[in-house]
Amino acid sequence: MEEDDYIYVEVTKIFKMTPQQGRRLVTIARALNADLVFHSTDADKTHLTWTGDDYLTGNGDVDYAAAACDVLDPEGMLQIELVVMTSRQLSP
């Protein structure tokens, strides 16, 4: 298929959750991705391999946004409130 054969859309969701719901969301996301294997090479050419995603940001904070992206239905699974959802079509 050519690039013109695809349709691109952007969907943005804003969730409101309690701290307990957030912790549960991250726990579920970690469990869902526990078997993923990641590979990387650091600056001194050392090959690194790790399993799973810790759902932490670069400065060590919990990454709730990444967890929400990886859990299929956070609204239904954890009763997390969907505050607003916006979308737009990026291609004609």
pLDDT class of 1 with cuts at 50, 70, 90: confident
- Please choose, from the candidates 68, 59, 87, the residue with its C-alpha nearest in 3D space to the C-alpha of residue 16: 68
pLDDT digits 0-9 by tens, 24-66: 999 999 999 998 888 889 889 999 888 888 899 989 999 999 9
**Residue 53: what pLDDT?**
86
Tokens standing for residue 80: 């997390």
> Is 23's pLDDT higher than 90?
yes
Domain ranges for the chain, please list them. 3-89
Alpha-carbon span 68 to 80, nearest angstrom: 10
Start-to-end C-alpha separation, the chain: 16
**Residue 90: what pLDDT?**
93
Across the chain, mean pLDDT equals 93
Q: Partners of 90 in the beta sheet? A: none
